[in-house]
Each structure stands twice: as C-alpha cells, then as structure tokens.
Amino acid sequence: MQNISSYEPGNHANPVKKLLLDAEKNNWKINLSQHAVIRAKQRQINEKDIWENIKNPKNLYYVKKSLFARKNEARYQCYFKKSGQQCHIYGLIFNFVQKFIKIATVIKSRPKLQKVLK
C-alpha cells in the first residue's frame, strides 16, 4: 500500500478513498476510539453508517490533511455526504507501520456550513 505523501497536495479525497479500500483489502485493523463512540451516541450517528462509510468510501467527497501527524502516520478530516442536508466528518489516523486506522472522532454537520467555512 502506498503512503499518502507520494500523492500531489490538495484535496486528497481520491487517494484517501484508495487507502481505505486498500486497508480493507489488506485486512488492516480499523477501530473506533472511545471518544468517537461517545460522540456518535451524543450526535445520534449510527455506528453502522460509520463502518459502511469506512469500508465503502463512495460518499467521501472532501479531505483535509492535518499537519499534526506523528512519524509514519497521516491524519485527515474526512467529509462524507450523508444526505442533501447533512454530512459526517470523521477524524481518521492512518498508521503505516502498525497497519491500522483509528477513527478518532465523528461529527455531524451541514454541507451548507462547510461551504461557508471553505
């Protein structure tokens, strides 16, 4: 599996989709942090939807790369379309040495708000 740093800068949605699909194919461990579980319950986000988005990232439409990653890691804010009025934002941590993905947090948001923030 290729490290994300080999891709061009900018919107990393397609390379992150590829990383998620490759991770699933290569049996990377994927876990939901305790913080993400709590936030999902508070924000009424179904865990089944989270796993579906990670395993099949067809609804991933925008990614922001974090500058605060440790060595051999990449961190991203991933925006998944949920419906016309809503999107989910996941904080994902890819560890390329230990071969795991950690879902650090989940947020429910509105796409109109995201357009204003861009």
Contact 23, 95 (CB under 8 A): no
Reply yes or no on whether the pLDDT at 5 is more than 60: no
Strands 100-109 and 29-32: parallel
Class of domain 11-117: alpha beta
- Residues 34-69: pLDDT tens digits? 999 999 999 999 999 999 999 999 989 889 888 888
Domain residue spans of the chain: 11-117
CA distance 64 to 66: 6
Within a 10 A sphere around the Cβ of 43, how many other Cβ atoms? 13
- Residues 60-101: pLDDT tens digits? 988 988 888 888 999 999 988 887 678 899 999 999 999 999
Structure confidence at residue 112 (pLDDT) = 56
